């Protein structure tokens, strides 16, 4: 399969696993309304790029998609939780996501908060299960790395810095170094985890694991710059969410301007592709993933 087919196959695999998991929550006694809100946030479409990267990185070490799907689904639970909370009125205040009502619009704010909480905690339940990996030591590494990537020094911390820049009366606009730091945490950390987790699943050596974590961090930064550019220039109908919402925020486009942001996007793409050199042709799909991130229109 080529890149597009593999991406769609991974998205279908993850969606099917998430659907089964949420079905199980109802039979396990979870409130039906809460589970429906979780479905709204987790099964509303999306490219599933982060779990796709995990599956592809695991493949470098001979770990098939079926063996890596549990860990990949856990990562997607964390990503979807972050989107549900990000859309809340207290944060980015969005009414649509992927062309559908956001969870707090389809339900209400308290349900959206709890749906996000439930998806986050479900992620760690999945990683603790033998289905994630037969070796408890590997499961522990997966759990610890995801906690770091999504916690106060990772995604949550980056989101905090982002909102501080937007909502607090700062004495001056954030500088580029501050924007790089907050976006490395907010977006890059979870991308880095996606790729590092593939290496963890494959029991790779420390050097390979670190290399893939760096690759993921760069592709995550490229993803964020592309996102900033799409907010400025993209089509809302095609993107399935409002555009033009980043004005006044701490973005690469605000700090660099459109021309320099595009140039930085190219630099990051080249660095990411260079990091894949030791993996040879086995990493061709990951190289295509970098190009996809840079060129995407939604």
pLDDT in tens, the chain (298 residues): 899 999 999 999 999 999 999 999 999 999 999 999 999 999 988 999 999 999 999 999 999 999 999 999 999 999 999 999 999 999 999 999 988 999 999 999 999 999 999 999 999 999 999 999 999 999 999 999 999 999 999 999 999 999 988 888 776 777 888 899 999 999 999 999 999 999 999 999 999 999 999 999 999 999 999 998 998 886 666 656 566 666 667 788 888 999 999 999 999 999 999 999 999 999 999 999 999 999 987 7
Phi/psi of residue 297, nearest 5 degrees: -115, 5
Q: With the C-alpha atoms ordered 267, 272, 274, 280, is the resulting torsion angle positive or negative?
A: negative
Provide the pLDDT for residue 254: 85
Q: What is the DSSP letter of 131?
A: T
Tell me the CB-side half-sphere exposure of residue 97, using CA atoms within 13 A.
Answer: 25
Predicted confidence (pLDDT) per residue in 165-215, tens digit: 888 877 677 788 889 999 999 999 999 999 999 999 999 999 999 999 999
Distances (CA, A) of 290 to 8, 100, 105, 195: 16, 27, 33, 13
Quick one: pLDDT at residue 239? Answer: 55
Q: What is the pLDDT of residue 250?
A: 79
Q: Roughly how many angstroms between the first and final C-alpha of the chain, as a whole number?
A: 23
Cα distance between residue 164 and residue 22, in whole Å: 34
Burial 28-51 (b: 16+ CB within 10 A, else e): eeeeeebbbbbbbbbebebbbbbb
Q: What whole-number distance in Å separates Cα of residue 79 and Cα of residue 96? A: 17
pLDDT of residue 98: 86
At residue 241, the pLDDT reads 59
Alpha helices (runs of H) in the chain, residue ranges in sequence order? 3-27, 32-42, 49-59, 65-86, 103-106, 109-128, 136-150, 155-167, 176-183, 189-201, 206-233, 236-239, 252-256, 258-275, 284-295
3-295: CATH architecture: Orthogonal Bundle (1.10)
Q: What are the Cα distances from residue 246, in Å, to 226, 240, 242, 251?
A: 13, 16, 10, 7
pLDDT of residue 30: 97
User: Cα(252)–Cα(244) distance, rounded to whole angstroms?
Assistant: 14
Query: DSSP per residue over 164-230, as a string?
Result: HHHHS--SSPPPHHHHHHHHIIIIIHHHHHHHHHHHHHTT--HHHHHHHHHHHHHHHHHHHHHHHHH
How many CB atoms are closer than 10 A to CB 15? 19
Contact 160, 82 (CB under 8 A): no
**Contacting residues for 21 by C-beta, under 8 A, at least 6 apart:** 73, 122, 126
**Token reading at 57:** 């990185």
Task: Note whether 197 and 173 are within 8 A (CB).
Answer: no
Tokens 């969410």 appear where? 241
**Rounded CA separation 189/152 (Å):** 11
């Amino acid at each position: 399969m080529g890149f597009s087919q593999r991406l769609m196959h991974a998205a279908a695999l993850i969606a099917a696993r998430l659907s089964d998991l949420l079905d199980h929550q109802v039979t396990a006694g979870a409130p039906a309304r809460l589970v429906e809100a979780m479905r709204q946030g987790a099964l509303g479409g999306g490219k599933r790029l982060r779990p796709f990267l995990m599956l592809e990185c695991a493949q470098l070490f001979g770990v098939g998609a079926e063996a890596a799907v549990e860990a990949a689904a856990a990562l997607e639970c964390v990503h979807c939780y972050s989107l549900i909370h990000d859309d809340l009125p207290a944060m980015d205040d969005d009414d649509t996501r992927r062309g559908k009502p956001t969870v707090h619009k389809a339900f209400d704010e308290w349900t959206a908060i709890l749906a996000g909480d439930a998806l986050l905690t479900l992620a760690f339940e999945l990683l603790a299960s033998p289905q994630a990996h037969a070796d408890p030591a590997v499961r522990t590494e997966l759990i610890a790395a995801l906690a770091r990537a999504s916690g106060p020094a990772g995604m949550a911390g980056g989101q905090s810095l982002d909102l501080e820049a937007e909502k607090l009366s700062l004495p001056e606009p954030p500088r580029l170094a501050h924007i790089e730091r907050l976006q490395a945490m907010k977006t890059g950390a979870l991308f880095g985890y996606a790729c590092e987790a593939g290496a963890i699943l494959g029991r790779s050596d420390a050097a390979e694991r670190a290399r893939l974590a760096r690759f993921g961090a760069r592709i995550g930064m490229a993803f964020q710059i592309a996102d900033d550019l799409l907010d400025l220039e993209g089509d809302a109908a095609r993107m399935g969410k409002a555009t033009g919402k980043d004005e006044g925020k701490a973005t690469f486009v605000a700090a660099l301007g459109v021309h320099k942001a595009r140039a930085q996007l190219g630099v990051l793409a080249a660095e990411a592709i260079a990091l894949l050199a030791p993996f040879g042709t086995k990493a061709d799909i990951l190289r295509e993933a970098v190009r996809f991130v840079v060129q995407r229109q939604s």
